[in-house]
Every structure is written in C-alpha cells, then in structure tokens.
Structure 1
Amino acid sequence: MNKVQKGEKNEKNKTLILVMFLLGIFIGALDSGIVSPARTVIANSLSVSSNDSIWMITIYTLAYAVSMPLVGKISDRYGKKKLFTFSIVVFGIGSLLCGLSNYFGGFSFLLVSRVIQAIGGGGIIPIATAYIAESFPPEKRGTALGLVGGIYGIANVLGPTAGSALLDLAGSSNWGVLFLINVPICIIVVIASMTIKEEKVTKAPTKMDVKGSIVVTALILSLMYALTNLKFHDFANSIKSTNVYPYLIAFIILLPIFLYIEKKAEDPVINLKYFTSREIALTLAIGFITGAGMMGVIFIPQFGENILKLKTGSGGYLVTLMAVFSGFCAPLGGKLIDKFSAKFILILGFSCTLIGTLVMSTLAISYPSIVTLTIGLAFIGFGMGFTMGTPLNYLIQANVSENETASAQATLSLIRSIGVAISPNLLINFITDAAKNLQGNLMALMPKISMGANAPAQSFGSGSISPEALASLQSADVTTVVDVLKNFASSMIDKVAPMIKQGLSKSLPQGVSPDAALATMKTDYLSQIESSRAAIESTFQSTLNSGFSKLFLGAAVIAFIGLVLSIILKGKEKTVKVDPNLTVKED
C-alpha cells in the first residue's frame, strides 16, 4: 500500500471514529432529558405516585454520576475504544429493558433497567471526548471538540422536546419507544467500532484503586442525592429533611476518608492533583458554573409562554430555537480555539450568556415580543454553544498526561453534573417567591358579591379557596387564568347559594324566584370577571415576570462568575509535563 492510499485509509478511519463517537455522545446526552416530559405518562401507566415517579430520573442521575469516574479510570488502563464499546452495549441493553418495561415487569423493573442504562451512559461522553481529542493533532483538536460540543449541546437541550414529539407520534400508551429508539443506534455504533483497529494500550503496572472506587461511589451517591432533594427556596426546613441531612453528614464523614485513601493509592480513581493544579482547578470550577447555569434553560418555555401569552406546553419551540444558535456556535467555537485560545472562547461565551440573561430579565419583560425574546435566546444560545463543552474539554485534555485523559474528562463531567443537580433547586426559588404573591394579587381583582339587599358586598378571600381550586390556579397560565377564576367563582357561588337566596328573597319583585335571581346575579358576576380580563392577565403576567426577572438576574450572576474565572485562566501557552500523571501550564 503506497503512502497516498495509506493516508486516505487513515482519513476514512478517522472520519468513522468521529461519526461513531458523535453518535454515542448524541444518544448519551439526549437520554438525560428525553424522559422528563413522559414522567407523568409513565407513572400513570405503571400505577405509581407522582412522588415515586421522580425516581426514574433520580436513579439515572445517581448511577450516571457514579459510573463516570470509575469507567473513565478503567478506560485509561485498558483502552478507550474497548470501554466505549462496552459502555454502548450496556447502554443499549439498559435502553432495551427500559422499553420492554412498558409492556411487562413494572416500575421496579424500569428502575433496575435505568441503573443499567446509566452505567453505560456514564462512560460514553467522557471516553468519546478523550478519544476524539487524542485522534486529532493539536492544531485541529479544537475543531473536533467543537463538533462534540455541538452534538452534546443540541442533544441535551432538545431532549425534552424530542421526548414530547416521540410521545405524540407513538401515543402515550407506547412510551417505551423513548428508550427503544436508542437500540438501533447502539447497534450501528457497535458495528462501526468493530471495524476500527484497537489502540495499543499497556496496562498500568499499578494496582487498581478498589478502596477509592468504593468510597467515591458512596461519596458521590450521598452528595448527589442530598443536592437533588435540597430545596434552596425553603433551605431551613429542607435541610432538616431525612432525604437531605443524613446524606450530607455521610458526605462530610466520607470526604476526609476518601482524601486519605487517594493520597495513599498508587493509581487513584480521581487524581487529587487536579484540584491543586491552578489551571485544572479553574477548569473544573468553570465546569461547575456551566452546569449550574445550563439548567436555567428549563424555565425558558414557561417564561416565553407567559410574556407572549402562549398556552402551556407550546413554548418548547423556544428551546429548539435556542438549540439552533447553540449548535451553530459550538463547532465555530472549536475552530476559534484552534486560531486563538480556549480562554478567549470562554470569555466570549460567558459574555454572550451575560448579555442574553440581562436581555431576558429587563428588555424581554419590559417590551414583550418575539423579537426581544429571540434576541435574548440568541445570546444565551451563543453562550451555551461557546462554553458548554468545547473549551473545557480542550483545557482538560491539554493539562493532563495522555494516560489519564478519559478519567480527567470524567472528573470534569462529574463536577458539571453536580452543578446541574444544584441549578434547578437554586433558581426555582425566584419563581416560588413570585407564585406566593400570585394568589393574593388575583383575589384582589375579583369583584365583590352581594349576599342580599341589606347585606354588604363581600370578596372571596384567599382563605376560602379549596385545595382543588388552589391547585387549578397554580397550574393556570396567562391564557387560562381568567377561565380558572370564573370556574372558581362559579363553584363558590354555588357553595353559598342558600345564603344568597335567603338574603335575596325579601327584596325580590313579585314573580321572580330566588333561583332565577341567583342565576342572573351569577351571570352578571361572571361577566364582571370577563370584563376584567385584561387587568387579570396583566397582573398574572407581571407577578410571574417579577420572579422570572430575578431568575435571569441570578443566571446572569452565575455567568459573571464564570466570566471572572475565565479571565483568571492563563492564555495560550506552552504546556510542560512535571510528572507522569499531570501536565500544567508553564509560567
């Protein structure tokens, strides 16, 4: 074989490697959000409560977080392609079993299947990222990682939208398709993997860190479970919950034990030098910030529906729009890294996110329109595309030795996952506070009702709302709130009808029955509510918007912290190895 043919074969092989790993990244990232919109459907199908159904997401998150550092470390010892293929097979088997649980096995079967799926999923993204980065020379590495960032970002953001679309196509009774769709993709990836020559790996002569692996598993489980259940908007009460404080105590006890074991280990499962190297520690801190800020996008559909007066559930396309901007910038950011530096892209990305969140918190609320909303979404999408994965993966890859790139990428993914776990509970605080004022503000707009000729007109106080009516009000949106209030008023009038008829009976004209008078009064009262439609909708909007404004200001603060940390990073400098396990930037 001549040099030209050999070069062409290498290029084809490299393209196949890229496609194989990108497909793996796509299904791995997509599955994180694709189940969310189907949780209620699955719960009803399997006859489990809403509280119990959250476990189908929680158990995946926990198993996913635990598997990342372990599989990453094993892949560095025994071969990335081998462990990636194994992870895809496990993920595919888990997906198949999850899909089959739609038809037999029940909820317990689904949970076990989700654990299997998560164990496979935890190895896909870190290993794929490390392998792709190693397969390309430094001058093209940013471009390759840009594709990784683009695929990861689009799949992550589109997960809930894709889940809703699949449910619409297959029907709620066939929710298993959400999982089964992964199976043919996994088969394609495995077949492609078999055609790629295995990389040469020399097994590490050191002993596997079994003690560290066991302790880090318990450490991650306790921390992630506590953070998942911790409600920052009700911190004082939440911290006392048995779903929180015992696990935080366990984490505090296990942390020094883990540090002691890792310092003694020949080949630690998580290299503690990552946290003492300035550049790697900063990269991990920025990874945490991107995770914490990234989950702010889950509130965008609700925000868009509120300011544009859209029905609940119709704001998903806004996330799709943002994903387009994000998907465009991720590969562009990779190319710019090759030309400039990862630091430059992070600064650019966090600046875009800062502008976008400020636009959402001020301009989009003061001047609500599809134009102002699109401007905010565009900047947030640009920011996510530039910061979510590419520059951080590049920095990690550049600052550790070749024999631990996958475990380093897994550590970055783990830290980012901790940020993701905290984010929704942290940001929802602002919406919760606004919702507390919603009930009182709307009740103040309700017209008073007469109980009789000589009786003073009365208001329906907020204390008189039944739990059912309150739940209906809390689930209302700006397009349905007036009808919800009318239904509430109608039920309340029916409730006090005997009292009203008794008060009216003494002053009714001859020939007019109390029932007829009550019906007329009820119609007039509901008409008064309808005539106040504009004021009610405006109050509903402004009350919730006050919460959204603070939420996006909070996201802006997170982006600003990320910007400051990015500025502190060193620029594009020469790297120098200081020991077999670590590389750092040269001063």
Structure 2
Amino acid sequence: MSAAAEDAGGFDASQSAAGGRNPWLIAVVVSIATFMEVLDTTIANVALRYISGTLAVSADEASWVVTSYLVANAIVLTASSFIAKRYGRKRFYLTCLGLFTASSIACGFAWNLESLLLFRVLQGFAGGGMVPISQSILADSFPPAKRGQAFAIFGIAVVVAPVVGPTLGGWLSDNLSWHWCFLINGPVGLFAFALVGFLVQEPKSAIEERRRMKRQGIRMDVVGFLLVATFLGSLEVVLDRGQTDDWFASGFIITFTIICIAAFCLMIPWEMRRENPMLDLRMVATRQFGSCFLVMLATGAILIATTQFLPELLQAYYGFTATWAGLALSPGGMVTMVMMIVVGRLSGRIQPKYLIATGATIVALAMWDLTRLNPDSTFWFFAWSRIYIGIGLPLIFIPITTASYDGIPRDKTDQASALINVARNVGGSIGVSIAQNVLAMREQFHHSRLVETIVPSNPAYQRTLEQATTYFSTAGGQAGARERAIAYIGQQVQMQTAYWSYIDVFFALMLISASAVPLALILRRVKH
C-alpha cells in the first residue's frame, strides 16, 4: 500500500474515481449533473398550466409530464448498478448524461403532448442512472472518514434542487415560456459532460470487476429487472393517478393494482434465489440498511410533498404568482446549503442515528408549525416553515447516506446507491399520494360540517347574510345584492374548507416525519 493510502487510513487512492486529482473537484463535478437531474423532478410542476394551454390539453393530461418522468426514473434506478459494473461506470454515466441533455432539449421543442411525454420518458431513463452512479463515484473517491463531508456537497444538489425547481420553473414560465424549463439543461449538460469526461477516472477495481464479469459470463437478470420495473412502474401509476381516477372505482387503477401485486409476489422469490439479483432484497432486510431505506422513504415523502403542495396552496388561496410561490421556498434552500456543510462536519463526530433523529424531530415540528396557517398568513410565514425544514432535512439526508454504506462491501456500493434513490423517488410518490388523498377526503369532511350550519333557521347565518347583503347594496346597488351575498358566503365556506384541509395535510406529513425518529434510533453505531 502506498504512503498516500496509509495517510488516508487504509484508503487506497489508486482505487479512487478521482485518480490523481483532488477528489473535492470530482464531488463538485458530479453534483452539477445530479443537481440538473433532480431539478427536473419539480421544475415542471408550476408550469403545467402553461403546458396544457400551449399544447391544448387538459390539466389532467398535462400532469403526465411529471408522472412519466418519475416512473421512468424509478425503473432505471434498479438496473443502474449492474449496467455500470458490466459496461463501465464512467461510460454509463456519460451515456446517461448525454441522453439526458439531448432529451431535455427535445422536450423544449416538443410539438404535442405525445412527443413531450416520449422525450420525458427518455429523460427519466437517463436521469435514473445518474444519481446512484454519482453517489458511488463519491463513495469510491473519498476515505470513509471524509465521506460525510463529500456527501454534504452531493446532498446540496439532491435536497436544494427540488426547492429551486418551482422557483426557477415559475420565473421561466412567467417571463419566458415553459419550453425554457427544459432548454436550460442544454448548456449545463454539455458543460457537465465535458468536465466528467476529462476529470473522472474509472477505478482499477471497477475495471477488474468488469473483466471478471465478462470472463464468468455474468449476465443481466432480465426477468428480475422486468419484475422490478413492472412493480415500481405500476405502483407509481397507481399512486400518481389514483386520486384523479377515483381509486378502485376505476377499472384502470384496479388493473394496475393487480399487476403491481402480482409483480411484487413474483419478484421476492425470484430475486432471493438469484446469485446476482437485479434488486438485492437481502440488503433491504438487514437492520442497518433496511432502517435507512425506510427513513429515506419518509424523507422523500416530506421533501417532494411539501415542494408540490406549498406552491399550489400559495397560488390557489393566497394570490401568489408562480414566481412568488417558488420564491417562498427559496430561503429554505439557502439554509439547506449552509446546513449541508455544517452537517458534513458534524457527521464525522456525532453518530448518524442521533443526527437523523434530531433532523426528523425538527422537520416534524416544522410541519406542526404549518398547521397554524390562516387567511392572514404572510409570505414570511411560509418562508420560515421552509427554513425550519431546511435545517432538519440535511440532518437526515447526509447521515442516512453515510449510515447506509456502513458495512456494505465495495462491490455493493452501486446497489446501495440505487436502492436509496429508489426509496427517495418512491417515498416522494407515496408522500404526494397521501397528501392528495388527505386533502380530498378532509375537504369533503370539513365542507359537510361547515354547511350544516348554513341554514335559514340559524340566527348567525341570517345575521351574516343581512350584513353581507347590506354591504353589497351599498357598494353596487340593490339589484342582485342578496345573490352576491349568498355567493360570497359560499366562497368563504370553500376557502375555510381548503385551509382546514391543508392543515390536515401538514399534520399527516408531521406524523410521517415523526415515524422516522424511532427508525433512526435503532441504527447501530458507525465507526468514524
């Protein structure tokens, strides 16, 4: 072992993806591409009404722009480990980055909904291979003692990008056009492609592993991949379309639910018997990695659900433009960037289990704080809620990534990366689905409770109706004043129903975040 390796505490620098270059430079390079990929999970959310108007489709059809990306992304994540090993990590990474950039530009020039969905699927397939390989490159480029700080830079990309997405997407849509939500990836992707091609090296261990797999004739577990892809794809469709299609009252949802269950039941015995499975279920069954997987599910649920529902709330009931709705999330993104650096340093001194439990508690309290929303809530009320979340999420994200690699052999790092990112994507879909269902069901509940009191026999209703009628008579004359008063009362009922329903959504998200605390505390101690 070389002196450099000895100085690194047993870390062999010759096996690093950085080669002889500074590994921190590699961390920045791969984080640029990761930021671009994760950004596209949310950048189109606030542009959907522009897309539906330009392409002459309904808002329901336009939502497939988001769904198709997530489905394709989750599917490819499971295969990225094997493909990277079999055909070369750097080669696979560059292929994904090139395809992602090209399909992003194609999305910007899409001429109808069908072409846009096709290019989004290609974009999702390419993006699904980039994030886990980025993590693997970082894991192999740094000694264990410095991985926490390296993952802090990577974490900035993964956690801040979904926050920046609505802000950037809203500004581009309001001031330019929705096409630029995708075209902006063109120059950034080309720049990242050049940097990765020049700076990132293929580790000797990866080259030896590829040669070994060729000699032994190890092939891709195609059946396992198809089962996993079918399970994840159908699950994503059920979660994303369930609320819109009225769940099991829809034959479409029932069909995909049956497919999902069948694929899952066939996937478990098949993968457990494979020597080189597409999805290493034994890894998920362990206490350490399994707990990390579940915590990442909860983290993805909070991150994606709040990023989608806060801008929606601000635009629908507080009169914010798409730009200002996105800006309300920006202070949280700034705090997250600072916290990533802080937590990166703390992760080398404090056990991950305690950092994760602290972060989950802070996020749960932030969700509880959002239950105080009311018609008079200001821009800074929502901005501060994102700041609190921005403090808590890094305390979860970096330690959970570090803890998930603890005890994982070097040849399993790609598999671990893929599974953790699958958890984040699937957790995000589950979080959005839960939030949508809570919102719909509680809207019905609160509306039915409120309208019970709006009857002619209620003196309070009569007084309110008389006061509103008097106001509209004074403002616009006697004609139609009573009708306008009744309409005004109905509008107020709808708004109160919405406020209470969103409060219930944030309460449900608080429970999800709180559930991560006991999961974090059962993690074993990690040797720093």
So what's the TM-score if we normalise by structure 1? 0.76
Indicate yes or no: 2:520 matched with 1:566: yes
Q: Secondary structure at the match of 2:291?
A: helix
Equivalent residue, structure 2, for 1:163:
169
CA–CA separation in structure 1 for the residues paired with 2:433 and 2:319: 25
1:150 lines up with 2:156 in the alignment: yes
1:245 equivalent in alignment to 2:254: yes
Once residues 372 and 51 of structure 1 are traced to their aligned partners in structure 2, the CA distance between those partners, rounded to angstroms, is: 30
Equivalent residue runs for 1:350-429 within 5 Å? 350-362=360-372, 364-365=373-374, 368=377, 373-387=382-396, 389-429=397-437
Are 2:353 and 2:520, in contact at CA under 8 Å, matched by a contact in 1? yes
C-alpha displacement at 1:44, in angstroms? 2.3
Determine if the alignment matches structure 1 residue 129 to structure 2 residue 123: no
Does structure 2 retain, via aligned residues, the 8 Å contact 1:287–1:416? yes
Which whole-Å CA distance do the structure 2 matches of 1:61 and 1:340 have between them?
Answer: 34
Shift of 1:123: 0.8
Structure 1 SS opposite 2:526: coil
Structure 1's 119 and 302: CA in aligned 2 closer, same or farther, altered over 3 A? closer
Judged with a 3 Å threshold, the aligned counterparts in structure 2 of structure 1 residues 85 and 311 are, in CA distance, closer, same or farther, namely closer
- 1:545/1:52 Cα in 2 relative to 1: closer, same or farther (>3 Å)? closer
> Residues of 1 paired with 2:170 and 2:406: CA distance?
39
| Cα RMSD after superposing both structures | 3.6
326, 330, 334: which one aligns with 1:320: 330
Deviations 1:58-90 (A, max 9, x none): 211111110111123211334322211111011
> Is the 8 Å Cα contact of residues 21 and 128 (structure 1) preserved in structure 2?
yes
The answer to which of 68-77 and 120-129 deviates more is 68-77
What is the CA–CA distance in structure 1 between the aligned matches of 2:367 and 2:272, rounded to whole Å?
42
Distance in 2 between residues matched to 1:430 and 1:570, nearest whole Å: 35
What's 1:207 paired with? 219
CA distance in 1, matches of 2:490, 2:379: 22
Question: Per-residue CA shift, 1:355-381, capped at 9, x if unaligned?
Answer: 21122224x559955665555332222
- Secondary structure, counterpart of 1:266 in structure 2: coil
CA distance change for structure 1 residues 306 and 85 in 2, over 3 Å: closer, same or farther? closer
> Quick check: 1:346 aligned with 2:352?
no
1:239 aligned counterpart, secondary structure: helix
Q: 2:243 aligns with which of 228, 231, 238?
A: 231
The Cα of 1:523 is off from its aligned counterpart by 6.7
Shift of 1:445: 7.6
- The structural deviation recorded for 1:122 is 0.3
Give the deviation of 1:544 after TM superposition.
3.1
Q: 2:479 aligns with which of 504, 516, 522?
A: 522
Give the direction of change, closer, same or farther, for the CA distance of 1:334–1:20 in structure 2 (3 Å limit): same
Residue from 18, 22, 25 that aligns with 1:16: 25
Task: Give the structure 2 partner of residue 516 of structure 1.
Answer: none
Tell me if structure 2 keeps the 8 A contact 1:445–1:536.
no
The 1-side partners of 2:484 and 2:272 are apart by 74
Q: Distance in 1 between matches of 2:173 and 2:182?
A: 11
Q: State the alpha-carbon separation in 1 of the partners of residues 256 and 120 from structure 2.
A: 22
Establish whether residue 120 from structure 1 lines up as the match of residue 120 from structure 2. Answer: no
The answer as to whether partners of 1:129 and 1:393 remain within 8 angstroms in 2 is no
The one-character-per-residue Cα deviations of 1:424-479 (angstroms, maximum 9, x if unpaired) are 2212334334544459858978999xxxxxxxx9x99xxxxxxxxxxxxxxxxxxx
Tell me whether 1:195 sits opposite 2:201 in the alignment: no
**Superposed displacement of residue 315, structure 1:** 3.2
Render the CA deviation track for 1:172-200: whole Å, top value 9, x for unaligned: 3xx32221211111111221122133322
Secondary structure at the counterpart of residue 570 of structure 1? coil
Q: Shift of residue 259 of structure 1?
A: 2.1
Pairwise CA distance, 1:563: 0.8
Q: Structure 2, unaligned stretches of length 5 or more?
A: 5-12
Are residues 1:75 and 2:32 paired? no
Equivalent residues of 2:27, 2:154 under 8 A apart: no
Contact map agreement 1:304 1:310 (CA 8 A) in 2 = yes
The answer for the alignment partner of 2:8 in structure 1 is none
What does residue 184 of structure 2 align with? 181
1:71 partner amino acid: S
Cα distance in 2 between the residues matched to 1:372 and 1:96: 37
After superposition, the Cα gap between the structure-2 partners of 1:110 and 1:282, relative to the gap in structure 1 and judged at 3 Å, is: same
Decide whether aligned partners of structure 1 residues 428 and 255 sit closer, same or farther in structure 2, where only a CA change above 3 A counts.
closer
CA distance change for structure 1 residues 162 and 369 in 2, over 3 Å: closer, same or farther? closer
Aligned to 1:33: 42
Q: State the distance in 2 between where 1:109 and 1:321 align.
A: 36
Distance 2:262 2:315 in 1: 45
SS at match of 1:244: helix
Question: In the alignment, residue 57 of structure 2 is paired with which amino acid?
Answer: V
Q: Measure the CA separation in 2 of the matches of 1:430 and 1:256.
A: 28
Q: TM-score, normalised by structure 2?
A: 0.83
**CA contact 2:248–2:254 (8 Å) conserved in 1:** yes
Could you tell me which of 231, 243, 246 is aligned with 1:219?
A: 231
8 Å CA contact 1:292, 1:416 repeated in 2: yes
- Separation in structure 2 between the aligned mates of residue 80 and residue 240 of structure 1, nearest angstrom: 45
Residues 193 and 315 of structure 1, relative CA distance in 2, 3 Å threshold: closer
Give the partner amino acid of 1:545: Y
Task: Call closer, same or farther: CA 1:45–1:544 in 2, change over 3 Å.
Answer: closer
Question: In structure 1, what residue type is equivalent to 2:115?
Answer: F
Q: Following the alignment from structure 1 to structure 2, what is the Cα–Cα distance between the partners of residues 318 and 378? A: 10
CA distance in 2, matches of 1:42, 1:537: 28
Contact 1:365–1:545 (8 Å) recurs in 2: yes
Task: Give the aligned residue type for 1:225.
Answer: V
Kept in 1, the 8 Å contact 2:162–2:304? The answer is no
- Aligned residues of 1:130 and 1:397 also touching (Cα < 8 A): no
Structure exhibiting the larger radius of gyration computed from Cα positions? 1
Shift of 1:421: 0.9
5+ residue gaps, structure 1: 449-456, 461-484, 494-518, 575-587
C-alpha displacement of 1:270: 0.8
Distance 2:382 2:190 in 1: 41
The AA in structure 2 aligned to 1:23 is I
Measure the CA separation in 2 of the matches of 1:68 and 1:59: 14
Cα distance in structure 2, aligned partners of 1:302 and 1:213: 36
- Give, as a single letter, the amino acid of the residue that structure 1 aligns with 2:43: I
2:343 to 333, 344, 358: 333
- Contact 1:286/1:562 (CA < 8 Å) preserved in 2? yes
CA distance change for structure 1 residues 207 and 373 in 2, over 3 Å: closer, same or farther?
closer
Q: Which residue of 2 aligns with 1:469?
A: none
Which deviates more from structure 2 when the two are superposed, residues 238-247 or residues 158-167? Answer: 238-247
Output the CA distance in 2 between the equivalents of 1:417 and 1:371. Answer: 29
- How many angstroms does 1:275 deviate by? 2.3
